[in-house]
Amino acid sequence: MPIIIAIPAPLRQFTGGQSQIEVDAKTAGEALDRLTSAHSALRRHLFNDQNALRNFVNVYLNDEDIRHASGPDTPVKDGDTLMIVPSIAGGAVIEEEVGQSLPELSNEEIMRYSRHLIMPEVGMQGQRKLKAASVLMIGTGGLGAPVGMYLAAAGVGRIGIVDFDVVEESNLQRQIIHGTKDLGRRKIESARDRLRDINPHIEIETHESRLTSHNAMGLFRNYDIIVDGTDNFPTRYLVNDACVLSGKPNVYGSIFRFEGQASVFWAERGACYRCLYPEPPPPGLVPSCAEGGVLGVLPGIVGAIQANETIKLILGADDTLINRLLLFDAWTMKFREFKLRKDPKCPVCGENPTVTKLIDYEEFCGLGAQHTPPPQEKLDEITAIELNARRLRGDNIQIIDVREPHEFEIARIPGTKLIPLGHVVGRMNEIDPAVDTIMHCKGGVRSAKAIEALKRAGFTGKLINLKGGITAWSEDVDPRVAKY
């Protein structure tokens, strides 16, 4: 069956000037063999000494790369066209030879990474790429834990970690990089020890600070890939913008309750976070994990996806999460996927960007100082110690707990009445306006909202917010009340 092979211009000198040659063949490989036996001078430009296609030579059957079909065994039929297209590669010799610019693996490392090495998708070359790579993780919390542990185990040569927090008991339900023995330690130290234990062959760099508009560009400069494991919008926009401005890929993950998201935002190749979400949600609309809760295993799954994508970026794999948003629901156990597209009007990576340097992200997310309420509406507050003193004095007061019933189950301040925030206005008549009312929740935010709502609804009695909520009560007054 005759098929047509299109000869690129520079190779026509080997085909007597012909731009197309017809051959009879059943497979693409057979067609190339026929071609090069008829025009033998052509062979060395297509095949190497081992008789394999040179790695920069690509063969397209009609419009598809035969590597994506069955390679040389791809069947061809009458009337098909084979095109020979080079991918043009080259470059300066900074270190002597190609391949030698990548670090060597020791025998111990070869043993350790053997399950990688025997897969052609990784192999020696890929494992050396991993060793040459550097990754900066923002946060060592729920997402950062699996990201760091898998990247360290995979042999990523240099891992940077940024965090400023200490390990608390409520972290351990999901942040598996830290253990009970680490309670009270700085997270970066605890994480560093764990990663070193997993793999002593890699470098770990710790940066104990909050990521800010002042330090982000300087930190990002020294790493190839940034992994976002943050839990708040200002830092998420900061990571995105700093990645766009420094040309780095941003491996994104986020979690809430049972739902997670993951993507790779790399402005040079596709959409960035702002192409997807140009504006942050209004403050308070999307609760944090501390307020809304999170299933402990969820960041394990989403963080493992981030580690997976990071490794694929280093290896140069094709099908990464660039321009794809993956949504995961752990409760229904369903994955969904959306296509993303780069927004030409994107304020940071679009054609006419308005954000050309890092800005104040607290203000951008509506959390700036201008949002504190005017002074005449100032909230009356009481500390846990003062409240306890009033109780002991026998003052006539009432305490309203505005948390949810399942929180009330976990811990409560004695002698309180439970009216969840959502019902507080509807059940206003249960609150006596003649005596002072102390409102409390877990940390003091929801109770402040309850006070505001009651005032707006016309409640006339005196309302006082318990500063720091039941958490402060447990810390300062009665440690038998469980913290959660």
Partner 1 sequence: MISITSEQIEQINLHGERDYPYECCGLLIGRFGNDGAKVVLETFPISNAREESAKRNRFLIQPEELMRGEKYARGQDMEVVGFYHSHPESPAVPSQYDLEHAWPTYSYIIVSVINQKAGDLFSWEQRPDRSKFEREEMRVAVNGA
Active site residues: 289, 441
Among 313, 340, 346, 470, binds partner 1 (CB under 8 A): 313
CB 431 within 8 A of CB 400: yes
Among 40, 51, 93, 332, binds partner 1 (CB under 8 A): 93
Report the DSSP beta bridge partners of residue 350. none
Helix H or strand E segment including 191: helix 187-198
Interface with partner 1 includes 249 (CB under 8 A)? yes
Stretch that binds partner 1, among 136-144, 313-321, 339-347, 389-397 (CB under 8 A): 313-321
Tell which residue, 181, 183, 265, 237, has the closest CA to residue 361.
237
Task: Please give the structure tokens belonging to residue 422.
Answer: 């959502």
Place of tokens 């030579």: 57
Place of tokens 């206003």: 428
Of 62-91, which residues contact partner 1 (CB under 8 A)? 65, 83, 85-91
Interface with partner 1 includes 344 (CB under 8 A)? no
Interface with partner 1 includes 224 (CB under 8 A)? yes
Closer residue to partner 1 (CB): 56 or 164? 56
CB 323 within 8 A of CB 340: yes
Amino acid at 95: E
Question: Dihedral of CA 363/366/367/371: which sign?
Answer: positive
- Closest distance between partner 1 and the C-beta of residue 83, in Å? 8
Task: Please give the structure tokens belonging to residue 34.
Answer: 């026929």
Rounded distance between C-alpha atoms, residue 48 and residue 44, angstroms: 6
Among 13, 106, 222, 356, binds partner 1 (CB under 8 A): 13
Interface with partner 1 includes 318 (CB under 8 A)? no
Pairing of strands 20-24, 2-6: antiparallel
Closer residue to partner 1 (CB): 93 or 392? 93
Interface with partner 1 includes 319 (CB under 8 A)? no
Task: Please give the structure tokens belonging to residue 65.
Answer: 């790369």
Stretch that binds partner 1, among 72-80, 126-134, 188-196, 283-291 (CB under 8 A): 126-134
Closer residue to partner 1 (CB): 56 or 335? 56
Interface with partner 1 includes 45 (CB under 8 A)? yes
Place of tokens 């203000």: 363
Instruction: State the residues that interact with partner 1 by CB under 8 A.
Output: 8-11, 13-14, 41, 44-45, 54, 56, 58, 60, 65, 83, 85-95, 97-98, 101, 129, 132-134, 224-225, 247-249, 268, 313-314, 316
